[in-house]
Structure 1
Amino acid sequence: MTLLSIHPLSSNYHQQASELAQLLGLPLNKEAAFALQLGDMGLQLQELADKAPGPVRVDFVEGALAHRRQFGGGTGQMIAKAVGVQAGVRPSILDATAGLGRDAFVLACLECNVVMIERQPVIAKLLEDGLARALANLDTQIIAQRMRLLQGDAINLMQSWQLETPQVVHLDPMFPHREKSALVKKEMRLFRPLVGDDLDAPKLLSTALALASHRVVVKRPRKAPCIEGPKPSYSLEGKSSRYDVYTLKTLKS
């Protein structure tokens, strides 16, 4: 059985699904473990096994991110403190491991300009789809305009960086699987077969440190070891996760 197939949810989307299958080099309407489904709600990833959880899609307009946009705690959030958001300071940020774009969206809500990199093409397409819908919605349009997506390998892109140098690079590498870890969430259940572990995390960190002008921030499970390499300047610890902060220069207004 193939790992992933493109499935239109109605005949209205057959042409789009066919073009997407060709673009991603994936089969169309084949039996598979996972389906990238295209329909009225946009693009979504669905596991096809019995008793599988519901689909995963990127939605900046409604749901959990809409609630966080309205009631998320503003500059008091741990991620805001980690990247250096403060009075008169809204650093430019490169989110080099964008995933579903949640952290990038939170930072864009705080008026930071964020460039996102996602190397897995299917996840990048989910993110592109969610970003397009956010740009078309009046409630999220201005926020989405602060977000830019690049698809490719973060290490290669950072080593040959052509855009304005980011003040902060944010990293959230996939953590190696452990039983009873937080990675049993449905997103991780779907993504791990596609993405695997970020075994190049030390190289990712060293490349980020060479690019960022002011700091690098690494999100980790709370009890996980630091990424191999230089020790962080300090860490901010929450209930389930922490941020290791590598300071290079002081952020000033």
Structure 2
Amino acid sequence: MRGPPARSACPMSVKIRIEPLAPSFREAAAAWAARLGLPLELAEAEFALQLGDQGLQLQLLEDLAPGPVRVDFLEGAAAHRRQFGGGSGQMIAKAVGVQPGVRPQVLDATAGLGRDAFVLATLGCPVTLIERQPIIAALLEDGLLRAAGDAEVAPIVARMRLLQGDAIALMGAWGEAPPQVIYLDPMFPHRDKSALVKKEMRLFRPFVGDDLDAPALLAAALQLASHRVVVKRPRKAPVIEGARPAYSLEGKSSRYDIYPKKKLGS
């Protein structure tokens, strides 16, 4: 699940340190610091990548900051959706083409915290995840490793493979069989306004910004995918510049733009 870093862990303007939450985690924190090229000590840090009993987490260091963000596939929202999320009736399942006897191979080229990829893996789809921001990729890797130790969830994350790097470059140099479906959820200024998403965006926006290369990302996906490309967008957002989707599935806050190439199951 581990890939080599493709770029520095954070933009030069963002000050972040690695912080063990107990002495027993100092050695592991030092290993992360060396791997990500981040300091263990930085008094003026704005963020801390913390390591403790609950794994790796990102914490904003300011008064009245929201709590940390970590990847957790065992409890919370991921567990609730796994147990009560509606199965193959979910809109994302319909968007990628899940149907009786068909569980397409999916490349999630904008993995983020892996929530959508985990839903698809829960439904039985093999999913390759690409995350280009090294700190977010580290959180995701840590979450996958912890989940792999749980008897119930391990078979699901076994269907998930993480690559860290630039999705456009990785897709352009793809040396395997093309994924049947490529799934894209680019960062966009107008996102879901729920408290959880606002909290995460407050933390991650300084690191990732907006995906200004979304048109190039879509073009690379359309070139590589064998059957379809799916783009998740805020419901009222414009389509990504370039090829036009054949149709869309629309929900309350999001929609899925579908770019079919070949019928799944053929």
In structure 2, runs of 5+ residues without a counterpart are: 1-12
Partner of 2:181: 168
Q: What secondary structure sits across from 2:46 in the alignment?
A: strand
Deviation at 1:221, TM superposition (A): 0.4
Matches within 5 A, 1:91-106: 91-106=104-119
Paired letter, 1:91: P
1:13 aligns with 2:25: yes
Partner of 1:55: 68
Deviation at 1:163, TM superposition (A): 2.3
Q: TM-score, normalised by structure 1?
A: 0.96
RCO comparison, higher one (Cα < 8 Å, 6+): 2
Deviation at 1:30, TM superposition (A): 1.4
1:111 aligns with 2:111: no
Partner of 2:3: none
**Maintained 8 Å contact 2:14/2:206:** no
d(CA) in 1 for partners of 2:111 and 2:17? Answer: 23
Matches within 5 A, 1:58-207: 58-176=71-189, 185-207=198-220
- Structure 1 segments, 4+ long, off by >4 Å, are 180-184
d(CA) in 1 for partners of 2:118 and 2:215? Answer: 25
**Maintained 8 Å contact 2:190/2:234:** no
d(CA) in 1 for partners of 2:225 and 2:194? Answer: 29
Q: Aligned to 2:57, which of 27, 44, 64?
A: 44
Cα deviation, 1:166-223, whole Å, max 9, x if unaligned, reads 0000000000358x95696111111100111100000000000000000000000000
Paired letter, 2:141: E
Deviation at 1:27, TM superposition (A): 1.2
Cα deviation, 1:99-156, whole Å, max 9, x if unaligned, reads 0000000000000000000000000000000000111100101000000000000000
Q: What secondary structure sits across from 1:138 in the alignment?
A: coil
Deviation at 1:165, TM superposition (A): 1.2
**Maintained 8 Å contact 1:176/1:198:** no
d(CA) in 2 for partners of 1:143 and 1:123? Answer: 20
Cα deviation, 1:17-65, whole Å, max 9, x if unaligned, reads 1121111111113131111000111000011111111110000011110
d(CA) in 1 for partners of 2:194 and 2:238? Answer: 15
Number of aligned pairs?
A: 252
Q: What secondary structure sits across from 2:202 in the alignment?
A: helix
Paired letter, 1:23: R
Paired letter, 2:34: Q
Q: 1:76 to 1:192 in 2, by over 3 A?
A: same
d(CA) in 2 for partners of 1:242 and 1:46? Answer: 30
Q: Percent identity?
A: 69
Partner of 1:217: 230
Q: 1:174 to 1:182 in 2, by over 3 A?
A: farther
d(CA) in 2 for partners of 1:205 and 1:160? Answer: 15
In structure 1, runs of 5+ residues without a counterpart are: none
Q: Which moved more, 1:124-133 or 1:17-26?
A: 17-26
Q: TM-score, normalised by structure 2?
A: 0.92
Partner of 2:15: 3
d(CA) in 2 for partners of 1:181 and 1:54? Answer: 17
**Maintained 8 Å contact 1:47/1:190:** yes
